[in-house]
Amino acid sequence: MSERWIVTGGCGFVGSNLVASLLEDRVDVVVVDTLVRKGSAENLAWLQQRAAKSGAGKLVHVPADVRSRTDVEHLFSRFGEGSSVVAHLSGQVAMTTSIDRPRHDFEVNVLGAFNVLEGIRTLAPHAAALFSSTNKVYGDLASLRHEESATRWILPDHPRGLGESTPLEFHSPYGCSKGAADQYFLDYHRIFGLKSVVFRHSSMYGGRQFASFDQGWVGWFCEQALRQKREREARRVPLAFTISGDGKQVRDLLYADDLVRCYRLAAAAIDRIAGRAYNIGGGMENSLSLLELFTVLEHKLGVELAYERLPPRASDQKVFVADGTRAAADFGFSPQVGVSAGLDRMLEWLRR
Ligand SMILES: NC(=O)c1ccc[n+]([C@@H]2O[C@H](COP(=O)([O-])OP(=O)(O)OC[C@H]3O[C@@H](n4cnc5c(N)ncnc54)[C@H](O)[C@@H]3O)[C@@H](O)[C@H]2O)c1
């Protein structure tokens, strides 16, 4: 019998990249997605085309809502047995929305994760359980020593970035809801022996990312830069976009192909790494501040970007760069796509 994965949120940015790679390798995939996110219906159509190619794995789309116990129980009673991996990627993904609609954020991220974990515990106990958490579980990191350069904030005491021993501190409803789910995944290993692994992600980018003002900042600013280039070429004054804060906030960027490798390597190593959390990002060499990203985009596109500043966002970290030492040592993951090549591919996808 062929291998099968269940991927919740499988029509989102991370999910569709992961599912495409599985289908190509003849793995069957059950994609669980309500298609609420802008672009998810397009991603599903794209996946269906890929599944139709000869030799691809089978694709089943289940429009189950992870908030619904009934939907998730039904899903696992149909597909739990015989699935070797459950990747739980569906979520309420924007910090800003979590502040506007905290109950919704709680229901999708905490109750949704709990329903999925219960499905795994009762109906797929041998499956690897992979969860996409976030660096926001470490709070705003304001107590760390920061230095300011002309283009970025720096953590002088953490030259390789931040490891998993950084104290947890949940800030904002999004930080609390993702953090609660992160801890549930780890605890279901401790208490029930589930083969769970948690990835605390920095920023990710690449094709199939339908970014918005409040989520997917790399994709969003790439879109804005391309729009301003078109406006300048049409001899119109470009509409300025906005940024929150001073633009010196730094993140490490992980390209889509690398994040797919991360999930697949972790699934293959699950018996060694179950019960652990990993900081996953592009690392220091693939880190950029907003201002530095704008310089790179100006250079690549030959356009001067026009933007305006807004006050900083609540709980925003001035710097987060993942120290990937543990992931490299435990399951051999380290990023391979450099940020310049990744941005070229992102721009190419957006142009198409
Ligand atoms: N993209 C990033 O940079 C980043 C960074 C840190 C963490 N993460 C986490 O990774 C995961 C995937 O992120 P993404 O960028 O692919 O997000 P995304 O919004 O592109 O994908 C999430 C998918 O979940 C689906 N969904 C939402 N609510 C649902 C529900 N109640 N039931 C079923 N499906 C539902 C959406 O339709 C969407 O297709 C998220 O959990 C996010 O918190 C992402």
> What is the percent of the chain where pLDDT is above 90?
96
Give the pLDDT score at 2.
82
**What does pLDDT average to over the chain?**
96
Query: What is the tens place of the pLDDT at every residue in 283-341?
Result: 999 999 999 999 999 999 999 999 999 999 888 899 999 999 999 999 999 999 999 99
Averaged over 225-229, what is the pLDDT? 97
Give the pLDDT score at 218.
94
Give the pLDDT score at 18.
98
CA of 262 to the centre of ligand 1 (A): 17
CA of 9 to the centre of ligand 1 (A): 6
Confidence band for 242, pLDDT divided at 50, 70 and 90:
very high
CA of 28 to the centre of ligand 1 (A): 21
Q: Is the CB of 110 under 6 A from ligand 1?
A: no
Give the pLDDT score at 213.
81
Q: Is the CB of 249 under 6 A from ligand 1?
A: no
CA of 37 to the centre of ligand 1 (A): 8
Determine which residue's CA is closest to atom 11 belonging to ligand 1. 89
Q: Is the CB of 219 under 6 A from ligand 1?
A: no
* Structure tokens belonging to residue 85: 């991996």
Q: Look-up: residue for tokens 């992980």?
A: 254
Give the pLDDT score at 313.
86
Active site residue 307: no
Q: Which of 174, 184, 188, 205 is catalytic?
A: 174
> Which mutation among 132, 209, 218, 316 tests ligand 1's pocket best, with the greatest number of atoms within 8 A of CB?
132
Give the pLDDT score at 49.
98
- For residue 290, the number of C-alpha atoms closer than 13 Å in the C-beta half-sphere is 22
Give the pLDDT score at 314.
80
Q: Is the CB of 177 under 6 A from ligand 1?
A: no
In this structure, CATH architecture of domain 4-351: 3-Layer(aba) Sandwich (3.40)
Please count the residues of the chain. Answer: 352
Enumerate the domain spans of the chain. 4-351
pLDDT at residue 275 is higher than 80: yes
> Which mutation among 8, 17, 37, 95 tests ligand 1's pocket best, with the greatest number of atoms within 8 A of CB?
37
Query: What is the tens place of the pLDDT at every residue in 1-43?
Result: 689 999 999 999 999 999 999 999 999 999 999 999 999 999 9
Does the reported pTM lie above 0.85?
A: yes
Give the pLDDT score at 162.
98
Angle of CA points 115, 37, 44, to nearest 5°? 90
Q: Is the CB of 108 under 6 A from ligand 1?
A: yes
Residue 196: in which H helix or E strand, if any? Answer: strand 195-201
Query: What is the tens place of the pLDDT at every residue in 131-178?
Result: 999 999 999 999 999 999 999 999 999 999 999 999 999 999 999 999
CA of 40 to the centre of ligand 1 (A): 10
Averaged over 242-262, what is the pLDDT? 96
